[in-house]
Amino acid sequence: MLGPPEEQAIVLAARLAAQRLTGQRAADPVDVARCLLAVQAQDPRAARLAIRVRTCGGHSSEIDRALTDERSLIITWVNRGTLHLIASEDEPLLHALTTPQLRRASDRQLSQAGVTAAALICGIETIRRSLGNEGPLTRAKLRDRLERADVSTHGQALTHILVRATLDGLIVRGPVVEREHAFVLAEDWLGPRPMIDRDRALAELARRYLRGHGPADARDLAKWAGLPLRDSRAGIAAIAHSIDRRPDGLLELKDRARSPQLWPPPRLLGPFDPVLLGWRSRDFLVDDPGEVITTNGIIKAIALIDGRAAGTWAIHAGRVQLRLWKEVDTVTSDALAAEAAAVENYLNPSERLNASPAGTDSSSRAFSAATRAGARPSGAR
């Protein structure tokens, strides 16, 4: 735990502000990515929901435009070996610092998938040649090109070959093509990767991490980025002149924006939201982690009320279904109904759902009644 309740509340408020969940929302998806540095994206819908709750209005097609037309966002394997949505300009930094330590695990996974050294060399060259000659290709099309080259893609082999090509700096996920994310040659899509001075890069990583996650400490940074603790400590030491150390040992940037302790209005955060992934412990946000994290490591979508997790939710047949852990008042219930409509509209911009914030149509009345009663949707855990 983080200390007495009043201290925990201060930490919670500061972290919510750093995460753009209180105060001024981000201007656009790229602004969110720059602020948070990396948004977990192995679930594409989850990454979109993380952007939604931190920006004003808009819809998910803005992310596709940033990925495809503007080339200002990409998705790639960094930080702990997981797919993340990042600003294109941050790829050199994150690739240089967070991917080298993943190669040993990559070697093991390739071996377990039955990919020999010779098959890997052939596979990487096939990917290079195919993307160079044809431009962006989806996963399915790369599978086809590899199998034509007699490189097995059975089981997890394809995934691990693509991961290795990413760790080698060859590819990233760039544009959306026919509703699927396509791979591209990193240099073709982003330009030549600049040389990175490791010491300066660690300092920049520490600064950027604290900007979007402070108060935090070196162990939090190491956990979030998948870095050795010595590297995390080195980065923080390099910016020591820019840091305030709190009485509880947590660190904040001296030039951070200072605002009154505020709680966000009721919000619906998607699965794998960055606020649940940015530190070693989730105790500052969640009372019972078992309600939010499944035994196989899936982090559920949560309802945030008074700054803390207060329930979970999911989408069934295009509609938000909410399971709160405690009864809430009508004002909170109606605010959650408005959030549910906003989520549905954001993910389905062509289907404008006319649910009013007050819950006056039939679907919102049902939603509000369920949230006030703390009821579970049918089939929910």
Q: What is the pLDDT of residues 48-74, one digit of tens each?
A: 999 999 998 788 999 999 999 999 999
14 or 353: whose pLDDT is higher? 14
Q: pLDDT band for position 314 (50/70/90)? A: very high
pLDDT, residue 312, reads 98
Q: pLDDT band for position 256 (50/70/90)? A: confident
pTM over 0.75: yes
pLDDT, residue 376, reads 38
* Residue 131 to residue 142: CA distance in whole angstroms: 9
> Mean pLDDT in the chain?
90
- Whose CA is closest to 12, among 285, 222, 252, 220? 285
- Does 367 have pLDDT greater than 90? no
320 near 343, Cβ under 8 Å? yes
Cis bond upstream, residue 29 (ω within 30): no
pLDDT, residue 339, reads 97
* Residue 340 to residue 360: CA distance in whole angstroms: 14
- Does 261 have pLDDT greater than 90? no
pLDDT, residue 354, reads 33
pLDDT, residue 257, reads 74
For the chain, domain boundaries? 5-190, 286-373
Residues in CB range of 298: below 8 A, 6 or more apart: 271
Q: How large is the average pLDDT for residues 142-154?
A: 98
* Per-residue pLDDT reduced to its tens digit, 27-41: 999 999 999 999 999
Q: What is the largest CA-CA distance in the chain?
A: 64
Q: pLDDT band for position 380 (50/70/90)? A: very low
- Does 250 have pLDDT greater than 60? yes
Residues forming a β-bridge with 243? 253
- Does 366 have pLDDT greater than 80? no
